[in-house]
Structure 1
Amino acid sequence: MEFFKETVKRTANLVTLWQTVGFCHGVLNADNMSIIGLTIDYGPFGFIDQFTWDHISNTSDPNGRYSYAQQPSVCAWNLARLAECLIQALIDQQKCSSDKTANKECIFVDNL
């Protein structure tokens, strides 16, 4: 799980730097995050000119899901989704290790 710990550390560092300089990512969906601690597809991102905790740079986000204040918790939520996938992959790998039949799914899982 060192891989996941490193991903969490890098993501936390990135969002901390954002918060420090007043950067607001416009579309912080899970698919716009990376396992190397970078993000992509910033959408209508922006920098806060005057501090506003609930600043929203994306006009299509009226509820503030990706507001400046929500960025740390959204990153944590996205990381939790990654953890769920990794846990399932580990469970599948254990099932294949105990099952000696060489089905295609186990061959795939063994190569993860």
Structure 2
Amino acid sequence: TIKKIKFHGPSAMAPLIRFITEFTSYEKNDKSHQHYTILLVFTNGELSDLQSTIDEIIIAAKTPLSIVFIGIGKEKHKFKTLVKMDADKRELRSSQGEKSCRDIV
């Protein structure tokens, strides 16, 4: 049982997503070996690297990966950053102008 969690922010998500993307890229996927990864991230919503994170999400969209962000805390205004990474209402674009090939957040 976890009794107390203390968050420190802001957080940098791009390195984590880059690491998981590399991991999923090495997985062998063929008819007899199917792998799919779901990255579950608990966060207080503060990101220090929003555009870098979006860049990594666009790269990750080409791999068998989905990302689920769980916002923790009472300050809902901090979760606006997480909403910006969701491509349900608007498409994500990298800093180079590349569009995401699919919605993975």
Larger Rg: 1
TM-score, with structure 2 as normaliser: 0.29
Greater fraction of residues in helix: 1
Higher relative contact order (CA closer than 8 Å, sequence separation 6+): 2
Greater fraction of residues in strand: 2
